[in-house]
Every structure is written in structure tokens, then in C-alpha cells.
Amino acid sequence: MTDGGVLGMLDRTRLLASFPPNPTPRALVAATILVEEGFAAITVDIGDLEWVERFDTALGGRAVLGVHGVRTADDLSRAQSAGATYVLAPIGTKTLVQAAARRSLPIFAGALTPTEIAAAATLGATAVLVHPADVLGTTYAPHAVAAANGARVIVGGTSPYGVTHWLNAGAYAGVADPSLLGDLPSSSDIGFLRDRARNYTSEATRIGPWSPPAS
């Protein structure tokens, strides 16, 4: 499955930002800052589908919007109806991937162990989402990429340091960990967000566009 939208963005930017559940109005400002600093793929939780439209309106098409936490075919339907152009599934299954394919909806299928990654890579998903990658550390990166056997690998929940190691190991893209946006709802000043975002985007820019593994 291919898609010129989210894959077109990630080919260049290599990064996704996932908003935590229950965003506040402050999230609209945060999303604008993220886009200005180089994040062009943003997701919201399956429980916050109304925010897909809110972000789309605020960002004016400058980012591709998706939904994370998708687990069922009904979730797929609701996410797509809300305007999502791709989804992240923490647990990738054949049934879910096939349902997404019928909808022409790009899906990043979750897996963790080498066996799970290898299995997910055969399902026809847009990419394999290695999640939660932080529990195994950056030394796991080349092993996870190798297990995918050429399929795109997106690392779920990683730091700027982790992004460097995973992208250099051949991963396709990285989802920023909760430190990027986790304390946003309680912060009185979100100016810090630019620095946090730049920590990610500077590394992704330095590494450059993704190249498919040599066959």
C-alpha cells in the first residue's frame, strides 16, 4: 500500500508528533509551532476525533493528520470519517490491515519483537510501527529494521537521541516521545516547544531523506 500524502511528507521530514488524549485549546497553538519547526505529520488519539477537523482548520493543510490508538475496524471507519488520512495501530493484525486496505487508508501496524515485526511486514501495511520502542533501547534499532526485511519501520515514542540512532539504522520515521507534548496542558508558557521540536527536526534534517534498503 502506498500513499502520496503521509508517505510524501515522511519521506522528507521523517517525523510524527502524537498529541496526548484530551487536548486543550492550547494544542492548536502547539500544532502551529510544530509545523513551523518542521513537523508535518500529526496524530490525535482515537478518543479525540473531533480534533482532526480542528487541527485541519488551524493548520490550513500544512500537515497530514492521522489517528493513533486504532484497534478495530470500527475505529478505522470513525477515524476516516473524521478526516484522518492515515492511522497508527498499536497492535497490527491481518484483519485490521485488510480492513484498512479496503478503505485505501494507510495504516502503520504495531509490533515489537523480531517475530512480530517480521510478521507485520508481510501483512501489506504501509509501515511497521515498532512500539513501544523505548523499552528495548536504541541498540535494538538495527535488529528491528533487519527483521522488517525491507519494509518501512516507524519507531514509536522516541527521543531526539533515539531518532538519530533509529534513522541512522535505516528506520523510515520516528514518533516523538511524550516529552515533546506531555506537559503542554498544564504549562503557562509553550515557548519551550520550539526548542523541543528543533531538537528533533535538526537531527532528522541532518540525516536527510529516507532511502529504501538495498535489495
pLDDT tens-digit map of 6-55: 999 999 999 999 999 999 999 999 999 999 999 999 999 999 999 999 99
pLDDT tens-digit map of 115-142: 999 999 999 999 999 998 888 899 999 9
**What is the identity of the amino acid at 159?**
S
Judged against a pLDDT cut of 90, whether residue 184 lies above it is answered with no
Segment 92-118 shows an average pLDDT of 96
Assign 1 a pLDDT band (cuts: 50, 70, 90). Answer: very low
pLDDT tens-digit map of 53-71: 999 999 999 999 999 999 9
